Structure 1
């Protein structure tokens, strides 16, 4: 597979438009047309990971944390960043990153944390984007109504709440004159044609518009498909950082801490709050999520699971009466690496593609 093909698959898992404006996601080093057979998933792209990729003959590395966060003025191969880039280029290894888009995406890191904790009625903790909804209207000959309707629905149109394939069709009459050079499905050149048609309309999220239009055109019998797109004021699906939900069974903070420690396989946790505090609703945010403390309180969480908590942030949480479990940055995100490998394997049908996970622990902290 080409790198570009794998990028398309990653776009399905973690759409790039979900990334925060300050973030840098996508292909960071490499060639879109490069052929790849061996892929490795890692949290970070440090020198040890790159050397591991070289030893395993990897063609493409997919990381969560981007290699390039800030503008680079120079690349000196004796310095850490330069050594990494040099190793990648000399060994024809492409590097792709999915960062905040993987945090925000449905089925991404935060959904996985909520799943591990068996949270119920999970919603977004801090909304960052609301997807635009468009109204699609297409005119279809009577005998092809179901064919076009099914094609656009399967491509992602017509979702309203928990319902799919939501459309409306009204009968009418279409007119047209085939001009020289055309090959009309019905009618004769130079003559006005009147044909019974349906006005088919539905809602389309902006993120899937291109694939819906492509499905519509490929399923429509006409040489020139007549359709309209209208903006709407309807609220689309809310995307954002973190998740919040209810535990399947209320427990004490101590019990929740024990559960988290086991699930994330960590040696220790930093905890704010009384051990016997009753917890029924939990907010989660992989990586650095203490900035979401206010949202966690607003949405009724008694505990926030995240990492990188600072001293004064801990004091603030204590004053607000919200428990915090600081589970370490590496632990809250690194646990998703194997899940991402599985998501890729499920989407790649080619047996010759090998997907590995890095065996390097890039966590800079050690616990004593």
Structure 2
């Protein structure tokens, strides 16, 4: 048995919503076809020549990466010029490439939540909200006796969630009318005759990312040949999502102790630190990868320290002058944490779907730096 690429992409995008992708980011299917069959998936932070070799040796049909193979458009497809040479090689070997980047950074449970969880932060909030989930009201009319089946089908696909409550719906009994015309096969009534049917009006709330699945499940469970339903956009406030997180340590630590905690939690040999090692750290702002451009947001949120990667000389001086400590745990160090989580997620989705799919984590160390 095998799985089509598109099904795996759908699973990933249920978590890392496409709406969270930053402008000009290269995400999604970069090489290959959605219709290709997959038996084995390789999950990696970066796509390097060594990773492609590993994929070949592992007989992989799909690479799922966090970082895009290329950032700028490729004007040609040549085997002798990087990075098109890697694309050329993937095509030759029949290996597809899919990337979840900034959408996985911002997703609930993504990189920044993983970092916050590893550090044991509490009272966690978004550092920079970027997207507010759109909500819809779905109303469907169901013949008496089938209301529970249709309602369950909708809720099982993600309808009816309000805060900490699931299966939130409302139903009202009434009378529906319809006249089956020539060529129809009515579940109730006769062709050409006006039918008055006892029906329930069922309504519930649905987030945008779940809307297609809810409607598909609803129609599949509904006994009518033509399902009467309405979809209304709502002004209700949906879940906010975005980049970075801010939270508190359970107990204050010195900056030196916090830096050691970061090393321990992320399995790092070294981190760079700016600020007095003895200063007290209670409130932490963080953003995985290269995100020093969010420093001002960390300051506005009253953070004592900002954890990120790729901190440059002048950025560190800016932080010192504004009284906030910085811990640079590296681009690789702050993002590698998501790879085993992403692999486990794909495995679990395949198991839930009853699909046979092998998912492996790359063994290639893609941190380009050595610390001597």
Q: TM-score, normalised by structure 1?
A: 0.95
RMSD of Structure 2 on Structure 1 (CA): 1.7
Aligned to 2:285: 283
Partner of 1:146: 148
**Once the 2 structures are TM-superposed, how far is the Cα of residue 57 of structure 1 from its aligned partner?**
2.0
Q: CA contact under 8 A between 2:14 and 2:209: conserved in structure 1?
A: no
Structure 1 distance, partners of 2:8, 2:15, is: 11
State the partner residue of 1:194.
196
Contact 1:75 / 1:81 at 8 angstroms: preserved in 2? no
Give 2:221's aligned residue: 219
Q: Which of 114, 128, 131 is the equivalent residue of 2:130?
A: 128
CA 1:298 to 1:149, structure 2 compared with 1: closer, same or farther past 3 Å?
Answer: farther
Counterpart in the other structure of 1:88: 90
Q: 2:166 aligns with which of 158, 164, 173?
A: 164
> Which one of 309, 334, 358 corresponds to residue 354 of structure 1?
358
- Structure 2 gap ranges (5+): none
Number of aligned positions between the proteins: 368
Shift of 1:232: 1.6
Match for residue 30 of structure 1 among 12, 24, 32 = 32
Q: Is the 8 A contact 1:28 1:68 kept in 2?
A: no
Preserved contact between residue 78 and residue 88 of structure 2 (Cα < 8 Å): no
Query: In structure 2, do the counterparts of structure 1 residues 11 and 261 end up closer, same or farther at CA, with 3 Å as the change threshold?
Result: same
* Inter-partner Cα distance in structure 2 for 1:58 and 1:176: 54
Following TM superposition, the consecutive aligned residue runs of length 4 or more in structure 1 with deviations greater than 3 angstroms are none
Q: Distance in 2 between matches of 1:56 and 1:363?
A: 21
The separation in 1 between residues aligned to 2:69 and 2:274, in whole angstroms, is 32
* In 2, Cα distance between equivalents of 1:234 and 1:13: 22
Q: Classify 1:49/1:124 alpha carbon distance in 2 versus 1 (closer, same or farther; 3 Å).
A: same
Q: Note if 1:299 corresponds to 2:301.
A: yes
Distance 1:278 1:263 in 2: 19
Contact persistence 1:118–1:248 (CA under 8 A): yes
Q: Give 1:333 deviation, angstroms.
A: 0.7
For the pair 1:5 / 2:7, whether they are aligned, the reply is yes
Mapped contact 2:350–2:356 kept (Cα < 8 A):
no
Aligned partners of 2:235, 2:49: CA distance in 1, in Å? 49
Q: Secondary structure at the match of 2:317?
A: helix
How much has 1:359 moved relative to structure 2? 1.7
Cα drift, residue 282 of structure 1: 1.4
Q: Distance in 2 between matches of 1:82 and 1:233?
A: 45
Report the counterpart of residue 186 of structure 2 in structure 1.
184
1:65·1:99 contact (CA, 8 Å) conserved in 2? Answer: yes
* Unmatched segments (≥5 aa) in structure 1: none
Residue 99 of structure 1: which of 98, 101, 122 is its match?
Answer: 101
**Counterparts of 2:196 and 2:38, CA distance in 1:** 53
Aligned mates of 1:310, 1:188 — CA distance in 2: 76
* Secondary structure, counterpart of 2:231 in structure 1: strand
From 316, 320, 323, give the equivalent of 1:318: 320
